[in-house]
Amino acid sequence: MLSIAISVPFLQYALILLLPASYLLYRFSPSLSLTSSLRLPTWLSSPFSSQQPQPTPAESDPKKPLKSIMQAPRDDLAPPKDDPYTTEELKQYDGTDASKPILVAIKGTIFDVSSKKDVYGPGRSYSIFAGKDGSRGLGMSSLKPEDALADYSTLDEKDKKVLDDWHAFFTKRYNVVGKVSDGPVVDN
């Protein structure tokens, strides 16, 4: 009985020390990072499926890297431009004319997102933001067309933070090609 009383505090103390240490080891060890090599194969993730196992792209070609959903920040961006675009002019750049770039505005800053036509092109998941300033919708994390508006003054602080995060995300990944000249003026 005495040994249990001694070992329980010892185990608690050991866990208190080992859990943060193991997290740090996992977090900062390159060999333990979450990569495709640690993902379960598709056929193993659904063991009760009656279908034959289908290899994932990485399994069929181990040398081919998986395509990331989120692209990494770029270091080859052009210097930002200040070219003025009216809201009406911006509408021409919604992806329906293949000869023109696809532009998205956030908080009045216009970004060229042509490199992600698979995301912002017509009929794609974020196409509602193409050719307009959809700041309010981005801040609300909404894909409803009626929310894709330039005026974000009614957003609460949490949603404004989300919008700021989107603006920072775009700034690091897409070329700034101009500013919306006739958009709403909103104080942060």
Dmax over CA atoms of the chain, in Å, equals 81
Query: Is 84-180 assigned to CATH 3.30.70.270?
Result: no
CA distance linking residue 20 with residue 54, whole number of Å: 38
pLDDT of residue 83: 95
The per-residue pLDDT for 44 is 39
The pTM assigned to this predicted structure is 0.62
Cα(123)–Cα(127) distance, rounded to whole angstroms? 6
Predicted pLDDT at 184 = 86
pLDDT tens by residue, 162-178: 999 999 999 999 999 99
Helix/strand/coil for 113: coil
Q: What is the DSSP string of 43-81?
A: HHH-TT--SPP---HHHH-TTSPPPPSSPPPPS-PPPP-
| Ranges of each domain in the chain | 1-32, 84-180
Give pLDDT, residue 185: 80
Instruction: Name the CA dihedral angle for 13, 15, 17, 22, rounded to a multiple of 10 degrees.
Output: 170
How confident is the model at residue 169, as a pLDDT?
A: 95
pLDDT in tens, the chain (188 residues): 555 555 556 556 655 666 665 655 555 555 544 444 444 444 434 444 444 444 444 444 445 443 333 667 778 889 899 999 999 999 999 999 999 999 999 999 999 999 999 999 999 999 999 999 999 999 999 999 999 999 999 999 999 999 999 999 999 999 999 999 998 887 66
